[in-house]
Every structure is written in C-alpha cells, then in structure tokens.
Amino acid sequence: MKKWIALVCAVLLLGTSARAVEVSAPSALLMEKETGTVLFAKNEHEKLEPASVTKVMTLLLVMEAIDAGVLTYDTVITASAHACSMGGSQIWLRENEQMSVSDMLKAVCVVSANDCAVALAEAVAGSEEAFVERMNARAKELGMNDTTFKNATGLPADGHVTSAYDIALMSRELILNHPDIRQYTTIWMDTLRDGTSQLVNTNKLIRFYEGATGLKTGSTDSALYCLSATAERDGMELIAVIMKGATSDQRFTDAKTLLTHGFSTYALHTITPDTPLPPVPVTLGTQATVQPVLGEGAALVLEKSAGELSQSVTLAESIDAPVAVGDPLGTMTVTAGEQVVAEIPILAGEEVPRVTYGQMLMRLLRTAFLSD
C-alpha cells in the first residue's frame, strides 16, 4: 500500500497562497499527514536544537515497542537512578518508584517528563544509550538526514540537532501509524499517582485551537521555543513545526497561522474510480481475466480553488500470464480544469498463473469434444 501511495503524483498550486503566509520563527514547515505533502517551508533543513520535541521519536519507538509486544500499556516500569536524575521538566520520579507504561506516556505527552522519557527508553532498549542508537537508526530509515540524537529527552547536548523537515517526518510517522497516541496528546488536564500529581498540557493549542490533536512542545535557553503541532479538520490532519521561536506565545501563534492557512487553502481528496474498473484479458492464464485495482489510499492535497476533479482511465488491452499482484495494468489520470494533478497506476489486484502444458492440452481436448 505504501508503495502505491508513493507513486501518486500530487501537483500543488503553492505559488501565491504560500507566499502570502508569514511566520516569525526562523525555521518552520507545514505538512499534510496522509500524503506527506509539504504546504509551507521556511529554512526547513536548517539544523537546530529541538529541545523536548525530541520526544516525538521517543514516543514513536515506545509505540512501536508496544505494537511489537515488547511492552504493553499495563507494563509496570521501575524507575532507575539514571531516569530520576534527568532534571528539567519531570514528574519527580523516585528511584525504584513503579509506574505503568500508560501513565509514563501520559506524563511525557502532557508535561514533557524527562524522567519518564528515560524510564521508557530503558524499558525498550535496556539503557538510554542503546535507545539513542535506535533513535538514530530509525531517523535514518525515515529519511531524517538533518538529525543526530544524543539523548531521549532533548536536554541540551553538543551535536543534538534536527530540522523542521525532519521533525515533520517523525511526527507524521507517529500520528499516521500510531493514532492511539492521541489518547495522551489530546489531554488538557489530568492527574497521576491517584490524583496527587496534577498535569496540565504544555501545548496550549489543545485547549485553544479547534481540532488540535497534539503533539509536542520543547524549550531550552539555547533551542528557544519549539513545537510540533497537529490538528485535524474536515478529514485532513496537518503538522505545523516551529523551531527557535522567540517566545512561547509566538511559537503557538506561528503554528496557528500555518494550520489555519492549511485548512482554509487546501483539501484532501481520496481518489476512487468513478465507475468500476473492467477486467483485463489474460493471455495463457489459468483464468481469462484479471481484476485491476487502483492503489488503495491514493490521495491528493490540492488548493480548494483548483476546481472540480475529473479522471480518465487507460487500461492495457490484454496482459500475458503469469500475472503477479501489483503488476501494472494502466493509469488513471486526474485533472483539475486543464491541469493534470496526478497519474495513478492501476495494478493487478490478483495473481493469475500461466497455464501448464497439461492444462493447455485439456483445454484443447475439451474444445474439440464440445465442437463435435
């Protein structure tokens, strides 16, 4: 499915509307979640300190560990001396204090708890150092070429850098493939330790921006104010990344500017055939035809002003067996007005083996007897 989606060619009419947006932060980016389309960028590859926005990667690896069965939400973690020594934003874990993965995720997402981030990292990889190796390996897999992680928290460390573009990549991976993280990132106020520890989200957008779904704030004296903000409206989820904002309020203002621009200017279109795709004849196949399919989840992000979409389909007259699932059978061309906005491959939706000599002989014999 991912390969099919990657083949979708979305043509965005960014010109005038993109230039009309201004943010004060020196580095920023706006990305649509489903397609990964960049809708706005400003110095998006500048390597900067991310502060606690680092924890997006920490959260991603924890959620992947849960999916893999390494952890469950109910797994109880015992806080190590190292985890409790973090300083900065924390919930003041005591050495050997026990807390569930779920509660630690809540603490990381809501109040950016460094102690819980490290405790989770140790539970996943055995040590923070081993976890950081996994962070960097996962970053490389995601194409985060501007990134080097030195710790699991984002506390200041020489060479611990990333970019607005890379933050968007890991944020997208988290919210696209692990939507359950929303149960924590959308919390405005909550408690831990049977109500004795109060939590208030560091991300003010959760309370004050319509459709906000997360994701992570960060700030240090050197990184200044950073943010990866996600929000969803009308079936489209956007990621706004702000780096090195001058003040806390300004990073939220910049993020709102980008998100509002995205929602007001663009729309997400999921492409499906207007009419059922007809079967394609198969030569020397074990069946006479193969059913074509459009790449599932094919999606386009277009300006709302682009106009109504239309589509045309070109299919092969026939295909020789054997046919494998995913073999190309044609193309759907999507246009907005006179402009081609996507060419989506049409693929074989089923396997059709080639007939054997024995099967071919039986066919000939049946044909001969029937003709008699």
Give the pLDDT score at 198: 96
Answer positive or negative: Cα dihedral of 100, 106, 111, 114. positive
Q: Tens of pLDDT along 89-142?
A: 999 999 999 999 999 999 999 999 999 999 999 999 999 999 999 999 999 999
Q: What gap in Å lies between CA 286 and CA 356, rounded to an integer?
A: 9
Distance, CA of 205 to CA of 185 (rounded, Å): 11
Look at residue 25 in the predicted model and tell me its pLDDT: 98
Summarised one tens digit per residue, pLDDT across range 265-321 is 999 999 999 999 999 999 999 999 999 999 765 889 999 988 889 999 999 999 999
pLDDT at 240: 98
**Homologous superfamily (CATH) for 2-267:** DD-peptidase/beta-lactamase superfamily (3.40.710.10)
Res. 7 pLDDT band, cuts 50 70 90: very low
Question: Looking at residue 83, what is its pLDDT?
Answer: 98
Q: Could you tell me the pTM of the whole model?
A: 0.88
**Among residues 17, 89, 112, 219, which one is catalytic?**
112
Domain with CATH 3.40.710.10 in the chain: 2-267
What is the model's pLDDT at position 367? 67
Half-sphere exposure of 124 (CA within 13 A, CB side): 31
Q: Which of 272, 345, 269, 338 is nearest to 301 (CA)?
A: 269
Fold type of domain 280-358: Peptidoglycan synthesis regulatory factor (PBP3), Domain 2 (2.60.410)
**What is the per-residue pLDDT for 8?**
39
Pair 314, 280: CB distance under 8 Å: no
Pairing of strands 212-220, 224-233: antiparallel
Q: State whether residue 143 is helix, strand or coil.
A: coil
| For range 54-59, the mean pLDDT | 98
Tokens at 360, concatenated: 């071919």
Looking at the predicted structure, is the pLDDT value of residue 13 above 80? Answer: no
Residue 56 structure tokens: 């997006």
- 297 neighbors 7 (Cβ within 8 angstroms): no
Nearest CA to 266 out of 54, 3, 21, 70 is that of 21
SS3 276: coil
pLDDT for the residue 363: 66
Of 27, 33, 42, 55, catalytic: 55
pLDDT for res 370: 61
DSSP structure class, residue 90: -
Contacts of 71 (CB under 8 A, 6+ apart): 62, 65, 101, 123, 124
Which candidate in 27, 52, 80, 228 is catalytic?
52
| Continuous H helices in 142-290 | 164-177, 182-185, 205-208, 248-265
CA distance 274 to 81: 61
Output the pLDDT for position 368: 63
Q: What are phi and psi of 110, to 5 degrees?
A: -90, -50
Q: Is residue 65 over pLDDT 50?
A: yes
Q: Which of 257, 314, 320 is nearest to 283 (CA)?
A: 320
Q: What is the C-alpha to C-alpha distance for residues 161 and 147, in angstroms, rounded to an integer? A: 6
Kindly state the average pLDDT of the residues 53-76.
98
211-226: pLDDT as tens digits: 999 999 999 999 999 9
Cα R_g (the chain), whole angstroms: 25
Identify whether 52 is a catalytic site residue: yes
**Partners of 359 in beta bridges:** none
Whole-number pLDDT of residue 41:
97
- Where exactly does CATH 2.60.410.10 map onto the chain? 280-358
C-alpha to C-alpha distance for 165 and 157, rounded to whole angstroms: 21
The per-residue b/e assignment along 333-342, b for 16 or more CB within 10 angstroms, e otherwise, is ebbbeeeebb
The arithmetic mean of pLDDT across residues 172-190, rounded, is 98
In tens, the pLDDT along 331-359 reads: 999 999 889 988 999 999 999 999 987 77
Average pLDDT value for the chain: 92
Helix, strand, coil percent values for the chain (each to nearest 5)? 35, 30, 35
In the 8-state DSSP scheme, what is residue 79? P
